[in-house]
Amino acid sequence: MGGHLVQSLQREQPPRGSGIQPLLDYNKQWAGEISRVNPEYFYDLAKQQTPQYLWIGCSDSRVPANEIVGLYPGDVFVHRNIANVVCNSDLNALAVLQYSIECLKVEHVIVTGHYKCGGVTAALNDTRIGLADHWILHVSAVRKRHWKRMVAEIPKKYHLDALCELNVIAQVESVVETHLMQRIWKQQNIEDMMSARENRPNQNRAEDEVEIHGWVYGLEDGMVRPLLSLNRRSNIEKCLGDAVDALFWRYGLMS
């Protein structure tokens, strides 16, 4: 979609207590400006969605998926929760993953965390914040897994940033370990093997390939930093281990 559409208009955040009317006013202005630039935009958008990307991100209001990567409505399928967690008991996340891959045919799953994440901060400091405590236990497990090494190798002032990144890597691992991804990649790998053995055309289609990526976003500079990328041919265990080792090496050099 893209083109020369207006990504966002210059405006101030509505003052507290102003209600929801400013949002309706902003929506009218936004829709009018986009229609002025491209009169067919909303008509075309309403026909179907064909996103290439599934974004699994944090609910933090400062980390909007489309704006960060300069894409428009219809370009990114989005799932967000506190601390961008993926767990095998979360039917919401699993349903989004399955629908986006098998129905929308997304090609890239991007787990995106961000520095100064409130959920990760709570896990790091063992802070109680309410009902979300149960959810943040997933991040606390990441902290527990790496804590001894963090204390030994990373200066304390970088523990939060490091844990934000470690959490992304852990959630990428969780995506890979879902029954859905295991099934899809296994079937495709079997087809590779059988087609080669039987000397016949490979039935795997390029549009069915799925890559999984881990990114972290910097609130202070607006930049995305890739941490790792995996596909069905990757040595998953080695790639995950290498990403963790690279993180510790990088933070270990800081003082």
Residues marked as catalytic: 58, 60, 62, 114, 117
Asked if residue 117 belongs to a known ligand binding site, the reply is: yes
Amino acid identity of residue 83, one-letter, is A
**Dist. CA 64–CA 126, nearest whole Å:** 27
Asked if residue 60 belongs to a known ligand binding site, the reply is: yes
**Dist. CA 227–CA 248, nearest whole Å:** 12
User: DSSP readout, 171-219?
Assistant: HHHHHHTSHHHHHHHHHHHHHHHHHHHHT------GGG--EEEEEEE-T
Strands (E), 89-159: 108-114
**Dist. CA 197–CA 205, nearest whole Å:** 18
Asked if residue 58 belongs to a known ligand binding site, the reply is: yes
Structure tokens at 221: 């500079």
Decide: 18 and 50 in contact? Cβ < 8 Å.
no
Helix (H) or strand (E) holding 78: strand 76-81
Structure tokens at 10: 């210059």
Asked if residue 161 belongs to a known ligand binding site, the reply is: no
Decide: 243 and 139 in contact? Cβ < 8 Å.
no
Annotated binding site, which residues? 58, 60, 114, 117
Annotated binding site for Zn(2+), which residues? 58, 60, 114, 117
